[in-house]
Amino acid sequence: MVSPAIALAFVPLLLTLIIKYRYYFVLFYRAVLVRIWKDCVTGLSREERAFQYVLTNSTPGDPDSILDAFDYWCTNVEFISNIGPKKGKILDRLLLEQSPLTVLELGAHCGYSTVRIARVLPLGARLYSIEMDQGNAAIAEKIIRLAGFDDDTVELIVNPSDEVIPRLRSDYNLERLDFVFMDHWKKCYQPDLQLLEEYGLLGKGSMIVADNVLFPGAPKFLRYLRKCGLYEWKIHRATLEYSKGIRDGMAELIYQGIK
């Protein structure tokens, strides 16, 4: 049995750890514990609860109103790992600078980033959004249509990315992607990027933006970028969406072609 004196000796260490990692404890509480409790109480998924809030607190056909409702819910009610408003503004700027006509999104989740991207695209552009989870895709579809985007602007594809990418040319007549946004499973960043290269879907100047490369992190993806020599790239440093004190970043890549 541990004596009280020994137990007390660990109190300063415990307090130090709590203070140092307090933002991670808060994130765990909001993203995991609250979610489990509300799943049990409501019988709805977190994404369904978010959709209900957005539906009743936004203006149909107004993408910014929908994003604002999402941001409020994720900040004050439950955590969802959307790109969020701070990193979202970086994404907005890059899209406006690039003015892409053909955009691929890997990981629609519940449609936040899909709406964020679609609202700043030039006239005639088209966004292809891939989401492998059927439940999340159903929510994303409702959010996208609530924002006022039809199939001619946003096409939602429900399948794993590694199955869809090889078929983009044959099934969707895509010759080149001007812009790619990655926000799905971080372990898929590197293999999916290599699939895009392998199937010739990137042209010189194509831009790829990858979220959460520092937290939770995509170390294999970053190592590949350092070694392959196919991209000019940099990291836009920020904090994790809807959180304080957790450092994160988005990678911006410009494809240079095979040297």
DSSP letters spanning the chain: ---HHHHHHTHHHHHHHHHHTHHHHHHHIIIIIHHHHHHHHHSS-HHHHHHHHHHHSS-TT-HHHHHHHHHHHHHHT------HHHHHHHHHHHHHHH--SEEEEE--TTSHHHHHHHTTSPTT-EEEEE---HHHHHHHHHHHHHTT--TTTEEEE-S-HHHHGGGHHHHH----EEEEEE-S-GGGHHHHHHHHHHTT-EEEEEEEEES-IIIII-HHHHHHHHHH--EEEEEEEEE-TT-SS-EEEEEEEEE----
**What is the CATH class of 85-255?**
alpha beta
Catalytic residue selected from 186, 192, 248, 252:
186
Residues of the chain with CATH 3.40.50.150: 85-255
Instruction: For residue range 190-233, list pLDDT tens digits in order.
Output: 999 999 999 999 999 999 999 999 999 999 999 999 999 999 99
Quick one: average pLDDT of 87-93? 97
Catalytic residue chosen out of the listed positions 47, 178, 212, 248: 212
Q: What is the pLDDT of residue 18?
A: 62
pTM score: 0.92
State the catalytic residue, choosing from 47, 48, 78, 241: 241
Give residue 241's pLDDT band: very low, low, confident or very high (50, 70, 90).
Answer: very high
Active site residue 76: no
Respond yes or no: is residue 212 known to be catalytic.
Answer: yes
Residue 211 a catalytic site member: yes
Q: Kindly name the residue from 105, 131, 183, 192 that is annotated as catalytic.
A: 183
